[in-house]
Amino acid sequence: MGGAFLAAAVLARLGGRIGLPTIPLFILAGILLGPHTPGWVLLSDPHDLEMLSALGLVLLLFYLGLEFHMDDLKAGGRKMALAGGAYLVLNVGAGLGFGFALGWGTSEALVLAGVLGISSSAIVTKVLVDTGRLGNPETKPILGIIVVEDVFLALYLAALQPILSGADSLSSALMDGGKAFGFLLLLALAARFGTKLVGRLINTPDDELLVISFLGAAVFLAGVSEWFGVADAIGAFMVGLMLGSTSSGERIRKLVHPLRDAFGAIFFFAFGLSIDPGDLPVVLWPVLAAVALTLLMNVLAGLAAAKVYDFGAGPAANISTTLLARGEFALILATMAAAAGLDERLSPFIAGYVLLLAVLGPLAAGRSPVRRGVPVGAVEERVGAGV
């Protein structure tokens, strides 16, 4: 674990000198020191960091929830649904069509629909933080699309699992989907009506007790969410959504920063450990075609979201590039596909596709226009003030 932190830090420092974002460098550190690359192997089994990696994802999404205020959710629900729906129709639809065009099979096409259609919440969060755009107006639709994607993903995974496992029981699939949807509804009601009660329960002047309290709540509810068939990330997000609106919200934002950054780095490092560069040439052309298709669909989705929110070309570019990266949810689908014995080309395809977009996404987002009239320092100042 110490070696993982140090390797990620060294590469990130070197990359920072030439202006590279940290996310692909953390992933590169995992690839170079993993079991699939010649040379010194730091970790022979990527699962050794599985729990720490999961904690990194939970904390990244918990922080995202802290920044997404309930007032934004209540005021912009219709626009959020329209922008998120447009994003999913374009990207998931394109992914399904691409899967059928490859001719690998129907189950494989359903997996690819999710892989190409869902953004990486972890990378999106990190990009927003690194670029100092949490205070920008287009960040609201970006976060809204992520929320819609997470809700869709929970239902999609619940529906896809019996198909991949060969289950022919429609009632079983409906039961799993209903259980996931019911739990999501319960979380939404708690976030809408239980904020005052949660605020009284968690409030304490002692920083140590506050850290233990919010960390325990986020991780515990993430685990419960997974048990109900909902992505653990959405459970952590909902906890952040509730706590961000309490009187302790600003203190929690400050206290969670070092935890988010440290374990977020481990999440991306562990992702790199799972990639075998030797498998990538076999699926090079399908990967490049999928990346080109995703770029096109994200441009169209960004324009659609900008139209819904009456934004111009600059915010549309920010939406398109920020949501470009694919990551943790694609890896979940790759794991499900491998367990179901689907086409063996799926795993290297998903690894290559995710790796390319994990690099291109942050690079493109870092070079898209910052909102005119608001210097980066001012944005960071507003973010620090909890705006």
pLDDT tens digits for 108-118?
A: 999 999 999 99
φ/ψ of 164, rounded to 5, equals -70, -30
pLDDT at 369: 64
Q: How confident is the model at residue 172 (pLDDT cuts 50, 70, 90)?
A: low
The answer to whether the beta carbons of residues 346 and 338 sit under 8 Å apart is yes
The answer to whether the beta carbons of residues 244 and 252 sit under 8 Å apart is yes
pLDDT at 380: 37
Measured CA to CA, the distance from residue 137 to residue 133 in angstroms comes to: 9
DSSP string across 113-166:
HHHHH---HHHHHHHHHHTT-TTSTTHHHHHHHHHHHHHHHHHHHHHHHHHHTT
Single-letter amino acid, residue 289: A
Phi-psi region of 306 (alpha: psi -120 to 50; beta: other; left: phi over 0): alpha
pLDDT at 252 over 90: yes
pLDDT at 374 over 70: no
Give percent of the chain above pLDDT 90. Answer: 19
* Burial status of residue 44 (CB atoms within 10 A of its CB: 0-12, 13-18, 19 or more): exposed
pLDDT at 132: 78
Measured CA to CA, the distance from residue 89 to residue 78 in angstroms comes to: 16
More confident residue, 238 or 21: 238
Q: How confident is the model at residue 173 (pLDDT cuts 50, 70, 90)?
A: low
Distances (CA, A) of 364 to 18, 149, 358: 15, 21, 10
**Average pLDDT of 157-166?**
68
Measured CA to CA, the distance from residue 99 to residue 92 in angstroms comes to: 10
The answer to whether the beta carbons of residues 153 and 118 sit under 8 Å apart is yes
Nearest-CA neighbor of 23 among 135, 134, 128, 149?
A: 128
Q: How confident is the model at residue 154 (pLDDT cuts 50, 70, 90)?
A: low
User: How far from the centroid of its chain's Cα atoms is residue 253's Cα?
Assistant: 19
The answer to whether the beta carbons of residues 148 and 88 sit under 8 Å apart is yes
pLDDT at 95: 94
Measured CA to CA, the distance from residue 162 to residue 128 in angstroms comes to: 35
**Average pLDDT of 322-345?**
81
Measured CA to CA, the distance from residue 62 to residue 65 in angstroms comes to: 5
Q: pLDDT tens, 263-314?
A: 888 888 887 887 788 878 888 899 999 999 999 999 999 999 999 888 888 8
